Amino acid sequence: MASSSSSSKTGLKKMLTLKSSDGDEFELEESIVIQCQTIKHMVEDGFSLIPLQNVDTKTLTKIIEYMKKHAEKTESNKEEIKNFNKEFVKGSFDDQFELVSAANYLHINGLMDLLCQSIADRINNKSVRAVREIFNISNDYTPDEEEKVRDEHKWAHEGGEFDESLD
Amino acid sequence: MHNEREASSSSSIAPPPPLPSWADLPAEITANILLRLETIEILESAQRVCTSWWKVCHDPAMWRVVDLKYNIFSSIRDRVLEKICKIAVDRSQGQLLKISIVNFGSTDLLNYIAQSKYVDEAGIFYCCRVQNETLLMLCWEERKRRGTVKRDERRKSLVKQQREDCANQSFDSESESWRQSHALSSTILEEQLIAVRCTKLRYARIRGRAVPQGSIVHSLTLHFCKRLNPWLESVTS
């Protein structure tokens, strides 16, 4: 859904328009958007309408939510931001695939950190099989290769205490 | 074996778009995620997931920081950790910046790290079993402004055996015992630093664990001046 600009009465503040791959436009203050290195560079090059061909509307909406919140960051609301971050990564795991790709493309370092850490946390302590399931990865090893990789460190996984669950 | 997800939400209105496979994520992002895992996790699990993750897990850039810890509650024995550590050093192919080894280690391991042709250009952490329960770590950072340290010199220093008699004490609490540990640590460190002829030592971190089966790990970090003598300049917790 396009959020047609709402707060352009701020007068002095410089506004920028981001356009998602679905063609929706979002108008935002420059001060919010420059958290994103890719856009910052485009702004420096004089762009004010910024087409983001790799980012769909759903993902962009999420990212804007993140940038807006983080633009409010001060010394005093650290706790609030922390909670926001916690909630932010709670969403559907499949959305995170799009989000992390977009954050990487847009070079939003803080968001990238947040997402990668939360994704890594999902891998932690999981068995190989559980990781494949969670991440929708099919095993593309040939049986021979798989055995080789397993044998490479046979000594290490004698414990077999990895978690098979998918949460 | 394939774990294709069945179209389980069978008779809904429109077929949902196929779920993304995380194997298709660009390698740089995958690396960014995987390098947050513990070393052991990478070796035991991540690299076995699929061939694209295997590739990422063999990229030296993944091995710039190696952090290994022996934990008495874990089923992983310290001998295994040593092997893992050697693999990590090998895979870093010279890009190792920082290696931290806690509560395990042996002269053999140190020699391995020191003699590995890969570590020559990196600043490394240096860890030693001082006493069964206490570990001493030294870290120095190569600063090239004043010329590099001669490799031989550094190797010699690393290979130098640790004397084992001066750390038969543990720290009771981090704050209270600073004075005591200060004195204690400077003795230990003196040994070490005389061995270490180079002047690159920037700081050392000492961790002691309370002796019989103590589960409390104390740690403190000392900052040194860059000169040969182990003068303590300042202390941070």
State pLDDT tens for residues A49-84.
999 999 999 999 999 999 999 999 888 999 999 999
Query: In B62-162, which residue ranges form alpha helices assigned H by DSSP?
Result: 78-92, 107-115, 151-159
Query: In B58-150, which residue ranges form alpha helices assigned H by DSSP?
Result: 78-92, 107-115
CB of B136 within 8 Å of a chain A CB? The answer is: no
- For range B184-204, the mean pLDDT: 31
Instruction: Name the pairing type of β-strands B125-131 and B134-140.
Output: antiparallel
Largest CA distance in chain B: 76
Q: How far apart are the first and last CA of chain B?
A: 50
Residues contacting B66, CB < 8 A, separation 6+: B39, B85, B88, B89, B92, B96, B98, B99, B100
In the block, residue with structure tokens 């700081």: B203
Position B140 pLDDT exceeds 80: no
Cβ contact, residue pair A119, B33, below 8 Å: yes
- For range B213-223, the mean pLDDT: 27
Indicate the average pLDDT of chain B: 54
Mutation target to probe the A interface, by most A beta carbons within 10 A, among B33, B34, B81 is B33
Mutation target to probe the A interface, by most A beta carbons within 10 A, among B37, B48, B51, B83 is B48
CB of A120 within 8 Å of a chain B CB? The answer is: yes
pLDDT at B107: 59
Report residue B29's pLDDT band, with 50, 70 and 90 as the boundaries: very high
pLDDT at A137: 94
pTM reported for the whole predicted model: 0.65
CB of A143 within 8 Å of a chain B CB? The answer is: no
Position B31 pLDDT exceeds 90: yes
List the one residue out of A120, A109, A99, A132 whose CA is nearest residue A37: A109
pLDDT at A161: 56
pLDDT at B144: 28
| Axis crossing angle, helix A93-106 with helix A57-71, rounded to the nearest 10 | 70
pLDDT at B121: 34
CB of A31 within 8 Å of a chain B CB? The answer is: no
Cβ contact, residue pair B36, A120, below 8 Å: yes
pLDDT at B61: 87
For A81-100, the DSSP string reads HHHHHHHHTTS-HHHHHHHH
Our CA-based measurement puts residue B2 at a distance from the nearest CA of chain A, in whole angstroms, of 5
Query: Minimum mean pLDDT among B27-41, B98-112, B189-203: which range?
Result: B189-203
Instruction: Name the pairing type of β-strands A49-51 and A15-19.
Output: parallel
Report residue B38's pLDDT band, with 50, 70 and 90 as the boundaries: confident
Which helix or strand (DSSP H or E) is residue A44 part of?
Answer: helix A37-44
Could you say which of B19, B29, B51 has the minimum Cβ distance to residue A140? B51
Could you say which of A94, A112, A120 has the minimum Cβ distance to residue B19? A94
Report residue B68's pLDDT band, with 50, 70 and 90 as the boundaries: confident
For residue B6, give Cα distances in angstroms to A131, A136, B2, B9, B23. Answer: 17, 11, 11, 8, 18
Our CA-based measurement puts residue A77 at a distance from the nearest CA of chain B, in whole angstroms, of 26
Query: Minimum mean pLDDT among A10-19, B54-63, B81-90: which range?
Result: A10-19
pLDDT digits 0-9 by tens, A130-163: 999 999 999 999 999 998 888 876 665 555 456 7
